[in-house]
């Protein structure tokens, strides 16, 4: 176990010796560089054959963020397709102008939201975290090589 | 005194460990939510376009379903933006779980009542709860799902069919056994989900990795 301190919220906690190069503060959820990554976590420990490693939290969040963005775009297209289907099928009880207005409003709102989101989106680099008992703050931001959800035999190839 | 200190450390360790995993779990639940919306709504669209022009699935039914899907997708997009910016207030998991149950209830009422297979979605809502590692959330989601199902039942019996007609016409009634089994199944699903959280907590408390977390003194 190695003690670390978050540079953002000043929380102190312990991390495992084989923690990934980017860790997450348990309180403020900031992404932090592991100050011990270069000195201790050089190679992953050997696992029994057939055992799978877990995905590091930061790696999972990176994947899910990308997957979520793609998913939202896909859902947006499907919904637009569904709204257009309203015109094709016709809606009893609602005037076509009303439906058209709703559809246009939705598309404009989605476009504005997408533009605002893309303008404000900033992907911050992981902050440095101080090791309590030695070890300078590292700036390594490579993939989390230790906790990778890959079969152990695949990693050795 | 020592026992209290150990208990405090254990609770702190659980809370801190849980926060990271709950955040990651909320993001994973949201990705699955978006995926499910895309799959289920696509299935609806395919059925709609393959149905005859005067089929009941077209028209107002499609309009209502689309409105619910737009609202649900809007919730998912908002949650995604917040989580990807590492904003995860403690109440967010309750809000998203309750909104999920609300959307499922709306879909069930739109689809005609408790006979719809969309009732099965309540089990998915309960299944998402343990990923946030919160027992109160499991309880709230389970209770909300049961209330949602009973609301659909009441809406069908008392509003769609009508109070007197429903109880006077056996062919229109939902069998009492079906109602009870559904409610009991939702409750048992909640118990199983709660047990997952309890076992996760026990694992964390056995692991000393984070138990010495404390406020830093600069």
Say whether residue B49 is in contact with chain A using an 8 A CB cutoff.
yes
Residue A31: beta bridge partners? A24
∠ CA(A66), CA(B104), CA(A105), 5° rounding? 65
Domain extent for A138: 2-37+46-55+128-155
Radius of gyration for the alpha carbons in chain B, expressed in angstroms and rounded: 21
Q: Per-residue pLDDT tens for B79-104?
A: 999 999 999 999 999 999 999 999 99
Tell whether A99 and A73 lie within a shared domain. yes
User: A68 contacts in B (CB within 8 Å)?
Assistant: 27, 30-31, 34, 80, 84
A118 and A141 belong to one structural domain: no
User: Would the pTM count as exceeding 0.90?
Assistant: no
CA B212 → CA A4, A84, A131, B177, B208, distances in Å? 11, 57, 15, 52, 8
- Complex-level ipTM beyond the 0.90 threshold: no
Provide, as residue numbers in chain A, all residues whose Cβ is less than 8 Å from the Cβ of B34.
68, 71-72, 74-75
How many A×B Cβ pairs under 8 Å? Answer: 138
Is A79 found in the same domain as A64? Answer: yes
Beta bridge partners of A52: A151
pLDDT at A18: 80
Query: Residue B62 to residues A83, A106, A152, B107: CA-CA distances in angstroms?
Result: 9, 16, 48, 11
Same domain, A107 and A144: no
| From A12, A30, A68, residue closest to B213, measured CB to CB | A12
Closest CA to A58 of A130, A119, A142, A114: A142
- Which residue among A13, A79, A113 places its CB closest to the CB of B69? A79
Q: How many domains does chain A have?
A: 2
pLDDT one-digit tens code per residue, B5-32: 555 555 666 777 789 999 999 999 999 9
Same domain, A33 and A86: no
Residues 20-79 of A with CB under 8 A from B: 24, 26-31, 57, 60-61, 64-65, 67-69, 71-72, 74-76, 78-79
3-state SS class at B61? helix
- Average pLDDT over chain A, rounded to an integer: 69
Instruction: Convert the pLDDT of each residue in B141-172 to its tens digit.
Output: 999 999 999 999 999 999 999 999 999 999 99
Residue pair B122/B149 in contact (Cβ under 8 Å)? The answer is yes
- Nearest alpha carbon to residue A137 among A124, A123, A126: A126
Same domain, A63 and A82: yes
Q: Do residues A22 and A51 share a domain?
A: yes
Q: Are residues A117 and A62 in the same domain?
A: yes
């Amino acid at each position: 176990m190695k003690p670390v301190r978050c540079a953002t919220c000043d929380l102190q906690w312990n991390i495992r010796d084989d923690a990934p190069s980017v860790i997450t503060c348990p309180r403020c959820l900031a992404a932090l560089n592991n100050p011990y990554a270069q000195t201790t976590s050089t190679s992953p420990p050997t696992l029994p054959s057939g055992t799978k490693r877990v995905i590091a939290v930061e790696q999972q969040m990176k994947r899910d963020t990308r997957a979520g963005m793609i998913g939202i775009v896909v859902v947006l297209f499907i919904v637009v397709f569904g709204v257009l289907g309203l015109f094709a099928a016709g809606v009893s009880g609602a005037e076509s102008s009303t439906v058209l207005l709703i559809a246009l409003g939705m598309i404009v709102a989605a476009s504005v939201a997408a533009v605002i989101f893309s303008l404000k989106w900033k992907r911050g680099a992981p902050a440095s975290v101080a090791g309590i008992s030695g070890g300078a703050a590292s700036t390594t931001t490579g993939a989390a090589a230790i906790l990778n959800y890959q079969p152990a035999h695949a990693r050795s190839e | 005194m020592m026992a209290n200190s150990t208990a405090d450390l254990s609770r702190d360790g659980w809370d801190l460990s849980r926060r990271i995993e709950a955040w990651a779990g909320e993001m994973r639940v949201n990705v699955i939510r978006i995926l499910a919306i895309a799959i289920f709504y696509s299935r609806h669209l395919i059925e709609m376009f393959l149905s005859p022009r005067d089929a009941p699935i077209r028209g107002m039914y499609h309009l209502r379903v689309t409105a619910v899907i737009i609202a649900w997708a809007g919730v998912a997009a908002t949650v995604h933006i917040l989580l990807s910016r590492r904003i995860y207030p403690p109440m967010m998991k309750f809000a998203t779980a309750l909104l999920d149950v609300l959307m499922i209830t709306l879909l069930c009422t739109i689809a005609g009542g408790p006979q719809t297979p969309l009732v099965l979605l309540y089990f998915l809502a309960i299944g998402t709860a343990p990923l946030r590692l919160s027992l109160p959330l499991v309880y709230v989601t389970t209770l909300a799902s049961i209330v949602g199902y009973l609301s659909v039942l009441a809406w069908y019996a008392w509003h769609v069919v009508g109070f007197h007609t429903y109880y006077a016409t056996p062919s229109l009634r939902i069998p009492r056994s079906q109602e009870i089994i559904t409610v009991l199944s939702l409750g048992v699903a909640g118990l199983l989900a709660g047990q997952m959280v309890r076992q996760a907590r026990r694992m964390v408390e056995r692991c000393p990795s984070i138990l010495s977390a404390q406020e830093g003194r600069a």
